[in-house]
């Protein structure tokens, strides 16, 4: 049976402008610069540079706030339109640093990793079809240097996308040629094959031969560090095993990463804030590197003025006024949004500095207080999601290095003295304990828990295991060394 009923429901939705503002807040500096350039290109009413009117802005404005000029020069659009507020034409935003210095950051230029591999293929002699297969295989290699796709899937793709019918033996033969490319180990389908390829390209010393046997015939025992079993199976001494392991440790488990890291384009981290200590006081500045001054076009204002002076108003003139007004409103909104973004970033970072003042003055991580997103959100009167957008994507240049803002947030626990301490301090303590342990007898999680508890941090074994993983240390068995 169907029923009809009337139901009132309240729901909160973000306007398109609010969504765009949230996106602007989330953008780190380099992406913001690209967004600014795109907006200037797409909106002819938005211009960059310095307007010739000296009264347009005040250089003493710390927060880059937009300024409203006198109403003398405003155009009365109501002769044409009356559906909206009159836009302000001479708004601008000064996004330069106070010293007005343009800072140009040099960037690395280079080819992509896959292109680097394809360039090497040109040194080999292939038949046309084999060349196409080789290029397809290289194109399937990921940035770490591995070919992780199943060869049968690749054969199917070759048939469907390129009309090339081949078999697995032919593909394997071409893949062996790819294994000759640099960096060594590239094109491997798993870690075992990657290490084996690298070892076979080294000299054939006794240690290398032993290392190859370990990787190819005893890989499972090696990964589990069952060294005594390997010694018995290969009938070698402990010293011979040590020498072989030294050779294996020299290998790169991710051969593509070395290339991609050293040639990554625009890989430089550009901090969004800078914190300096001047006379034992913290000074915060928002980095506005190469961000242009923004203002609404005088040319568009003059165009509107010309239409106002016209005695006859045609349909085409009204359409032109509508278009101009849309562009002016969009430019005004964008400038306001940039100003609001900058204000939000500054207020958020200032609140973080106030909260973590002891740390920023000393650089000692033990001075970091437990701080969660809610603490800062309440302090600045904004939503937690806004603080999260700032913290997750922004960096700050401190006297102690460039830090991700997110790294200053942590939960807290109460130590045996009743003082609340940050989990960052506990992780640092745990890291120091593991780094100083006897590597021939690494500490288990139970032993680590007892030590950390004795130091005054009452945390459970499962928490110790979680922090150990977060700090990048494997279980005790995998930390063992001969």
**334-393 pLDDT, tens per residue?**
888 888 888 999 999 999 999 999 999 998 887 888 898 999 999 999 988 889 888 888
Do 119 and 257 lie in one domain? The reply is yes
Do 297 and 252 lie in one domain? The reply is no
Which pLDDT score, from 0 to 100, does residue 478 have? Answer: 78
Flag the least confident range among 16-20, 76-80, 375-379, 439-443: 76-80
Do 228 and 302 lie in one domain? The reply is no
Reported as a pLDDT band with limits 50, 70 and 90, residue 305 is low
Name the more confident of 53 and 463.
Answer: 463
The answer to whether the CB of 354 falls within 8 A of the CB of 38 is: no
Mean pLDDT of 323-339: 84
Q: What are the percentages of helix, strand and coil residues in the chain, rounded to 5?
A: 55, 10, 40
Largest CA distance in the chain: 104
- Is residue 428 pLDDT above 70, yes or no? yes
| Boundary residue ending a domain (336, 355, 372) | 336
Reported as a pLDDT band with limits 50, 70 and 90, residue 6 is low
Reported as a pLDDT band with limits 50, 70 and 90, residue 177 is very high
- Is residue 135 pLDDT above 60, yes or no? yes
- Is residue 52 pLDDT above 80, yes or no? no
Do 209 and 294 lie in one domain? The reply is no
- Is residue 65 pLDDT above 50, yes or no? no
Which pLDDT score, from 0 to 100, does residue 257 have? Answer: 77
Mean pLDDT of 137-164: 89
Percent of the chain topping pLDDT 90: 28
Task: Return all residues near 90 (Cβ < 8 A) that are at least 6 apart.
Answer: 51, 53, 56, 69, 73, 295, 296, 298, 301
Element (H, E) at 100: none
Q: How far apart are CA 436 and CA 429, in angstroms?
A: 11
Q: How far apart are CA 172 and CA 175, in angstroms?
A: 5
Which pLDDT score, from 0 to 100, does residue 229 have? Answer: 92
- Is residue 83 pLDDT above 70, yes or no? no
Element (H, E) at 282: strand 281-286
Q: Residue 304 domain-assigned?
A: yes
- The whole model's pTM is what? 0.53
Q: Residue 362 domain-assigned?
A: no
Mean pLDDT of 315-327: 77
The answer to whether the CB of 118 falls within 8 A of the CB of 138 is: yes
Q: Which of 109, 138, 134 is nearest to 124 (CA)?
A: 134
Q: Residue 342 domain-assigned?
A: no
Flag the least confident range among 232-236, 315-319, 327-331, 352-356: 315-319
Mean pLDDT of 124-139: 90
Which pLDDT score, from 0 to 100, does residue 76 have? Answer: 46
Per the rule left: phi > 0, alpha: psi between -120 and 50, beta: everything else, 120 is alpha
Mean pLDDT of 54-81: 38
Name the more confident of 72 and 285.
Answer: 285
Q: Helix (H, G, I), strand (E, B), or coil: what is residue 157? A: helix
Do 133 and 70 lie in one domain? The reply is no
Do 157 and 131 lie in one domain? The reply is yes
Q: Residue 346 domain-assigned?
A: no
Which pLDDT score, from 0 to 100, does residue 265 have? Answer: 42
Name the more confident of 98 and 16.
Answer: 16
Which pLDDT score, from 0 to 100, does residue 155 have? Answer: 92
57-61: long-range contacts (C-beta < 8 A, 24 or more apart)? 57/92, 57/94, 57/293, 59/94, 59/98, 61/94
Tens of pLDDT, residue by residue over 207-238, are: 999 999 999 999 999 988 888 999 999 999 99
Q: Residue 24 domain-assigned?
A: yes
Name the more confident of 222 and 71.
Answer: 222
Partners of 296 in the beta sheet?
46
| Total number of domains constituting the chain | 3
Q: Helix (H, G, I), strand (E, B), or coil: what is residue 92? A: strand
Q: Tokens 């437990």 — which residue?
A: 370
The answer to whether the CB of 432 falls within 8 A of the CB of 466 is: no
Rg (CA), the chain: 31
- Is residue 148 pLDDT above 50, yes or no? yes
Q: Residue 152 domain-assigned?
A: yes
Both tokens of 49, joined, read 């540079």
Q: Residue 432 domain-assigned?
A: yes
Q: How far apart are CA 386 and CA 372, in angstroms?
A: 13
Could you tell me where the beta strands, DSSP code E, fall in 63-116?
92-93
Do 200 and 299 lie in one domain? The reply is no
Do 166 and 246 lie in one domain? The reply is yes
How much is the mean pLDDT over the chain? 79
Reported as a pLDDT band with limits 50, 70 and 90, residue 3 is low
At 470, which CATH number?
Answer: 1.10.10.60
Mean pLDDT of 412-433: 80
**Cis previous bond, 352, omega within 30:** no
Q: Tokens 């200590």 — which residue?
A: 277
Flag the least confident range among 35-49, 173-187, 300-314: 300-314
Q: Residue 383 domain-assigned?
A: no
Both tokens of 461, joined, read 């074994």
Q: Tokens 């000064």 — which residue?
A: 94
Do 151 and 222 lie in one domain? The reply is yes
Which pLDDT score, from 0 to 100, does residue 239 have? Answer: 92
Do 171 and 237 lie in one domain? The reply is yes
Name the more confident of 458 and 412.
Answer: 458
| Boundary residue ending a domain (241, 261, 281) | 261
Do 149 and 222 lie in one domain? The reply is yes
Flag the least confident range among 147-151, 290-294, 360-364, 419-423: 290-294
Tens of pLDDT, residue by residue over 457-476, are: 888 889 888 888 888 888 88
**Length of the chain, please?**
482
Which pLDDT score, from 0 to 100, does residue 203 have? Answer: 86
Give the domain range for residue 442: 412-479
Do 309 and 222 lie in one domain? The reply is no
Name the more confident of 36 and 109.
Answer: 36
């Amino acid at each position: 049976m169907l029923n009809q009923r009337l139901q009132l429901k309240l729901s909160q939705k973000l306007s398109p402008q609010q969504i765009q503002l949230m996106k602007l807040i989330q953008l780190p500096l380099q992406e913001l610069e690209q967004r600014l350039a795109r907006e200037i290109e797409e909106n002819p009413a938005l211009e960059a540079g310095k307007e010739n009117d000296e009264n347009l802005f005040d250089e003493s404005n710390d927060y880059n706030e937009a300024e409203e000029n006198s109403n003398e020069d405003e155009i009365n659009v109501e002769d044409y339109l009356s559906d909206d507020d009159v836009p302000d034409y001479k708004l601008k935003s000064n996004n330069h640093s106070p010293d007005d210095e343009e800072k140009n950051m040099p960037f690395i230029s280079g080819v992509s990793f896959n292109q680097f591999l394809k360039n090497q293929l040109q040194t080999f002699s292939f038949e046309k079809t084999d060349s196409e297969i080789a290029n397809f295989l290289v194109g399937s290699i990921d940035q770490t240097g591995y070919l992780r796709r199943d060869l049968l899937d690749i054969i199917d793709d070759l048939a469907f996308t390129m009309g090339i019918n081949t078999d697995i033996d032919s593909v394997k033969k071409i893949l062996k040629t790819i294994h000759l490319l640099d960096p060594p180990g590239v094109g491997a389908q798993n870690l075992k094959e990657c290490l084996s390829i690298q070892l076979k390209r080294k000299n054939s010393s006794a240690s290398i031969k032993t290392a190859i046997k370990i990787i190819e015939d005893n890989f499972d025992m090696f990964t589990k560090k069952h060294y005594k079993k390997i010694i018995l199976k290969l009938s070698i001494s402990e010293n011979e095993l040590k020498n072989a392991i030294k050779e294996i440790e020299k290998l790169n488990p991710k051969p593509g990463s070395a290339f991609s890291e050293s040639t990554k384009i625009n890989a430089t981290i550009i901090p969004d804030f800078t914190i300096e200590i001047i006379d034992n006081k913290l000074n915060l500045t928002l980095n506005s590197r190469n961000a242009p001054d923004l203002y609404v076009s005088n040319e568009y204002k003059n165009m509107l003025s010309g239409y106002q002076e016209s005695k006859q108003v045609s349909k085409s003139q009204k359409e032109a006024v509508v278009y101009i007004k849309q562009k002016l409103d969009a430019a005004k909104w964008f400038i306001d949004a940039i100003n609001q973004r900058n204000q939000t970033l500054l207020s958020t970072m200032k609140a973080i500095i106030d909260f973590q003042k002891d740390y920023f003055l000393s650089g000692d991580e033990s001075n970091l207080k437990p701080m969660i997103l809610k603490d800062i959100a309440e302090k600045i009167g904004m939503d937690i999601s806004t603080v999260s957008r700032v913290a997750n994507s922004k960096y700050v240049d401190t006297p102690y290095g460039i830090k991700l803002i997110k790294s200053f947030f942590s939960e807290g626990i109460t130590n045996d003295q009743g003082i609340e301490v940050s989990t960052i301090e506990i992780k640092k303590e745990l890291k120091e304990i593991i780094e100083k342990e006897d590597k021939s007898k690494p500490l288990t999680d139970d032993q680590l828990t007892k030590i950390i508890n004795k130091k005054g941090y009452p945390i459970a074994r499962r928490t110790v295991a979680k922090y150990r993983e977060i700090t990048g240390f494997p279980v005790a068995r995998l930390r063992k060394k001969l």
